[in-house]
Amino acid sequence: MTAKKKPEDKLKVGRPRKYQTADELQIAITDYFDNGIKTKTVVSGRKEDPTITEIPVPTITGLVLHCGFCDRASFYDLEKIPEFSHTIKRARAFIEKHYEELMQTGNTIGAIFALKNFGWKDKQEVEMSGSLSIEDKLAALRSG
């Protein structure tokens, strides 16, 4: 007769976690926001006297790759572990904040798309009042 295996007897499979603690992950996230964000060049003003500005463009994918993950799913999977949840949610909120700020500057189309990926919704809710009975529906069908 074989003994039942306990959950702790299960073999651990897969690659070990890249970050053992939330503090280790936070160091990598901070490095991304301090040193890893790509910038884009924006030219404004008159043709003869342009103003050139470098604007930071933080992205989830940039953060994920900077932290050494192979894809967003791996990064989001780590969020399911209670110790890492707050750290990852906070990093995502910084990027979400950037897209909200873009909405305020008139740079809306890309920002709207990005914010929808953060769970924002673009919908209207319509409230109706009154009632319609089955008799009313049948009468309408018969007459029309």
pLDDT, one tens digit per residue, over 30-75 is 999 999 999 988 888 888 888 898 888 899 999 999 999 999 999 9
Residue 9 lies in a domain: no
Residue 52 lies in a domain: yes
More confident position, 49 or 115: 49
Residue 134's Cβ-count burial label (10 Å; 0-12, 13-18, 19+) is exposed
The model's confidence at residue 108, banded by pLDDT at 50, 70 and 90, is low
Residue 125 lies in a domain: no
pTM: 0.64
Residue 83 lies in a domain: yes
Q: What is the largest CA-CA distance in the chain?
A: 88
DSSP label at 18? S
41 — phi, psi (to 5°)? -90, 130
Range of the domain at 88: 18-120
When divided into structural domains, the chain yields a total of 1
